Amino acid sequence: MAYIPHTDAEREQMLAIISAKSVEELFDAVPEAHRFPALNLPPMMSEMEIVAEMQALSEANDHAGDFAIFRGAGAYHHFVPSAVNHILLRGEFFTAYTPYQPEVSQGTLQAIYEYQSMMAQLTGMDAANASHYDGATSLLKR
pLDDT at 70 over 70: no
Q: For the segment 11-36, what is each residue's pLDDT rounded down to a tens digit?
A: 999 999 999 999 889 999 899 888 88
Q: With pLDDT > 90 as the criterion, what percentage of the chain qualifies?
A: 20
Q: With pLDDT > 70 as the criterion, what percentage of the chain qualifies?
A: 69
**Residue 87: its pLDDT value, please?**
76
The band of 63, judged by pLDDT with boundaries at 50, 70 and 90, is: confident
pTM higher than 0.85: no
pLDDT at 101 over 90: no
Q: Which residue has the higher pLDDT, 141 or 45?
A: 45
At 70, which amino acid appears?
F
Q: Which residues share a beta bridge with 134?
A: none
**Residue 16: its pLDDT value, please?**
95
Q: How many residues does the structure list for the chain? A: 142
The band of 1, judged by pLDDT with boundaries at 50, 70 and 90, is: low
Q: Which residue has the higher pLDDT, 48 or 105?
A: 48
Q: Where are the domains of the chain?
A: 80-142
99 Cβ contact partners less than 8 Å away, ≥ 6 residues apart: 105
Contact between 130 and 116 under an 8 Å Cβ cutoff? The reply is yes
